[in-house]
Each structure stands twice: as structure tokens, then as C-alpha cells.
């Protein structure tokens, strides 16, 4: 730090060109992400749930052959700790969404502890959001795995448009926030939903934030263990979306 302090701002910014000086991690409360970089591209990638092992494997291998920046959560569990309370990291992107999730996952918790956790998230959220937001013209792709409890069926009623080309496999689907991406994705043989406006209720997920800030975002969901299927759909997306 002391060496950097002696440099001009211009020199300091130039350090960004040296890969070994760039940060390798970024975090918010108990959610800590490893940063994988490959070349230069407008693509950003995310694996946010620590228990979704298929998504981790697919994304890490993908980054060996595709350019962009990936953020891979390091925890092994679905939830992370915030001020020793449990939180789903894909509910931390708004205060109102995080509050609902903290109350859900920590029944009977004192309001003061919830407020402390929310204040902590408020202080650090924007830094993480900036990292996960794609540059102009770019896109953020989040990889998820689901179990029998969740499928595209849950998203259909709260979506602006849907195209269910594979109704027999509701666990595999794309969720996007940009209508142009929807127009392309619906030509695929896969299920896809558009949530550009989405439901009024803000659940604190990154897809809701992407819709609110109007950046291109695609969620790629498949059932846990469907490695080849997730790889195939990710490759389709890379090939056909600009
Ligand atoms: Zn997930």
C-alpha cells in the first residue's frame, strides 16, 4: 500500500493492466467471491449459490475457453452469514429483499439485529453491484441449479413473456431481462422467460436489480447434476447472443 500511495493517480490506474495486481476476491458480508479473469470481453459471469456444484464446475471450465470475468462464491452452503444471521446471497441486492429473507431464515430474530445486518449490506452493496454490472453493451450471465422444488413453472406467472419449447423439462430454462435477448433465446429449443418489468415486489435478487437498472442479464437454470445440459445451454447462449 505504501508504494501505491506514492504513485500518481494515473500510474495507479495503470496498475490495473497488470493481472497479478488486480484483486482476486470481492465480497459483501459473508458472501465472498473468487474472481476469474480471461482476456477482455463484455461478458460477466456469476455463480452465487455455494451448494450449486454443477454450476461451479460448468462455469470454471467455461472460463478456460471463453473471455470475460467470472465471480464464483466460495461458500459451500446456499446461505451466507451476515452479522451471524443467515441470508440467501441472491436476496442481498436490495434492502427490502434482504430484510424479508433475513426474517424468513432467522425466525424470531430481534429487529435490532436485522437492522444491523441490513446497514452492513447497504454500506458494501454498491461496490459488489458495480463489479457484477456488465459494461455498456455487455451482459451478465448467472448459473444456477435447482431441485424438485423450483422450476420455470414458478416464474411463468410473474414474467412479461414466456416461450416453453421444452415443457417436459421445466427445470432447464433461461430467464432474461432484455426483450431483444428474449427474441433470440426463444428461437432456441429451450424454455425461456422474460422479466423486464417483473413483479412489483422486489425480492432482492440480481435479476430484479438488472431489470430495474436495465442491464442485460440472463439466468441459466438446470437441475442439479445436469452438467452436460448446462454446458450445452451456455454454449447456445454464447453462440447466438451478441
Ligand atoms: Zn441458485
What pLDDT, in 10s, does the model give residues 142-201? 999 999 899 999 999 999 999 999 999 999 999 999 999 999 999 999 999 999 996 778
Query: What pLDDT, in 10s, does the model give residues 56-75?
Result: 999 999 999 999 999 999 99
155 CA → ligand 1 middle, Å: 14
d(CA 174, CA 152): 9
Task: Report the pLDDT averaged over residues 204-217.
Answer: 95
H-type alpha helices, the chain: 2-5, 9-14, 53-62, 95-105, 111-132, 152-155, 179-185, 206-213, 227-240
Kindly report the number of other CB atoms within 10 A of residue 132's CB atom: 22
Query: What pLDDT, in 10s, does the model give residues 101-135?
Result: 999 999 999 999 999 999 999 999 999 999 999 99
- Whole-number pLDDT of residue 4: 45
Task: Report the pLDDT averaged over residues 32-52.
Answer: 96
Strands 31-38, 25-28: pairing kind: antiparallel
Query: What domains can be seen in the chain, in order of their start residue?
Result: 21-240 (3.40.630)
pLDDT band at 5 (very low <50, low <70, confident <90, very high): very low
146 CA → ligand 1 middle, Å: 7
d(CA 67, CA 64): 8
18 CA → ligand 1 middle, Å: 32
- Whole-number pLDDT of residue 148: 87
pLDDT beyond 60 at 14: no
3-class DSSP state of 23:
coil
Contacts of 199 (CB under 8 A, 6+ apart): 158
15 CA → ligand 1 middle, Å: 34
51 CA → ligand 1 middle, Å: 8
Contact in structure between 195 and 159 (CB atoms under 8 Å): yes
142 CA → ligand 1 middle, Å: 9
pLDDT beyond 80 at 12: no
101 CA → ligand 1 middle, Å: 15
50 CA → ligand 1 middle, Å: 8
- Whole-number pLDDT of residue 17: 61
19 CA → ligand 1 middle, Å: 29
d(CA 47, CA 136): 21
1 CA → ligand 1 middle, Å: 36
d(CA 179, CA 211): 11
- Whole-number pLDDT of residue 201: 84
Residue given cell 436476496 in the structure block: 91
* Model confidence, pTM: 0.91
Amino acid at each position: 500500500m505504501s508504494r501505491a500511495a506514492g504513485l500518481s493517480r494515473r500510474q495507479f490506474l495503470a496498475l490495473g493492466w497488470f493481472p497479478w495486481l488486480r484483486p482476486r476476491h470481492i465480497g459483501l458480508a459473508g458472501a465472498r467471491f473468487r474472481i476469474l479473469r480471461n482476456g477482455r470481453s463484455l461478458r460477466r459471469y456469476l455463480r452465487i449459490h455455494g451448494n450449486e456444484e454443477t454450476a461451479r464446475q460448468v462455469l470454471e471450465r467455461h472460463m478456460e475457453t471463453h473471455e470475460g470475468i467470472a465471480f464464483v462464491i466460495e461458500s459451500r452452503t446456499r446461505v451466507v452469514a451476515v452479522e451471524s444471521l443467515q441470508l440467501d446471497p441472491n436476496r442481498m441486492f436490495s434492502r427490502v429483499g434482504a430484510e424479508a429473507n433475513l426474517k424468513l431464515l432467522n425466525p424470531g430474530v430481534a429487529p435490532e439485529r436485522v437492522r444491523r445486518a441490513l446497514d452492513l449490506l447497504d454500506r458494501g452493496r454498491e461496490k459488489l453491484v458495480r463489479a457484477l454490472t456488465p459494461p455498456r453493451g455487455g451482459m451478465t450471465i448467472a448459473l444456477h441449479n435447482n431441485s424438485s422444488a423450483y422450476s420455470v413453472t414458478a416464474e411463468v406467472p410473474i414474467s412479461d413473456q414466456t416461450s416453453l419449447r421444452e415443457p417436459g423439462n421445466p427445470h432447464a430454462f433461461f430467464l432474461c431481462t432484455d426483450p431483444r435477448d428474449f427474441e433470440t433465446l426463444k428461437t432456441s429449443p429451450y424454455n425461456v422467460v422474460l422479466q423486464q418489468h417483473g413483479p412489483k415486489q422486489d425480492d432482492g435478487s440480481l435479476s430484479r436489480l438488472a431489470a430495474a437498472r436495465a442491464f442485460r442479464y440472463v439466468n441459466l437454470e438446470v437441475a442439479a447434476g445436469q452438467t452436460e445440459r448446462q454446458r450445452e445451454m451456455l454454449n447456445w447462449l454464447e453462440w447466438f447472443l451478441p
